[in-house]
Amino acid sequence: MSNYTFEEIRNIIISFIEPKLIKSDFDKNKLTDETDLLKDGILDSFDFIDLVVYIEDQTNISVDLSQLNFDIFTTLGGFINEVLLQQK
């Protein structure tokens, strides 16, 4: 079973947050790896936890939230990297 790549995780995340972009009125084209999913109002804390559960379901990676680097994990890029770290 091969590991997921950065791009693959990114696509999984985008598929989850796309409907939320409508609710938060965030332009999809403005999404970058620096976009902060919480601070930029795309996800609230409930959505964020749902995202983690969604990624776990889609990839079988078990994400231990208490291990995350809190300074960066709420950004799109930061979150993907944290998930990749936990994949190992």
Residues at the contact surface with another protein, assessed by CB under 8 A:
19, 22-25, 38-39, 41, 44-46, 48-50, 52-53, 65-66, 70, 74
Q: How many CA atoms lie within 13 A of 39 on its CB side?
A: 9
Between 53 and 85, whose beta carbon lies closer to another protein? 53
Q: State the amino acid at position 50 in one-letter form.
A: D
Between 42 and 80, whose beta carbon lies closer to another protein? 42
Nearest distance in Å: CB 15, another protein = 17
Between 7 and 25, whose beta carbon lies closer to another protein? 25
Using alpha carbons, list the distances in angstroms from residue 55 to 15, 16, 27, 50: 10, 9, 22, 9
